[in-house]
Amino acid sequence: MTYRSPLAVACMLLGGCQAMMYGTGADMNTLALGMPRAEVLQKLGQPNSTSANAMGETLHYRKMERALGWSPTDYFVRLEAGKVVEFGRRND
């Protein structure tokens, strides 16, 4: 049996809990261009926030980049006429 420090165990548990809460960036791989908004919501759940303009709507999600990590990353799904036209990781 290997010894793990309590801090290391706590970090692993916290990272795993965050992935369960937010999901991971791999969830974005379930999307496809042309997918209707309802199917996006079915696959990813409710967005953290939304924004809109005359061209369409953007759904904003926070997801862990991988199962174990420190903080969530911002992802987006852009819709025009209710269909996915672009999605991915938000570039800062």
Q: Which domains does the chain have, with CATH numbers?
A: 6-89 (3.30.1450.10)
pTM of the model: 0.73
- For the stretch 21-72, pLDDT in tens is 567 788 899 999 999 999 999 999 999 999 999 999 999 999 887 666 667 8
- Structure token pair of residue 50: 């939304």
Quickly list DSSP for 17-65. HHHHHH-BGGGGGG--TT-BHHHHHHHH-S-SEEEEETTEEEEEEEEBS
The confidence score (pLDDT) of residue 3 equals 57
Reduced to 3 states (helix: H, G, I; strand: E, B; else coil), residue 67 is: coil
Report, in angstroms and rounded to the nearest whole number, the Rg of the chain calculated over CA atoms: 16
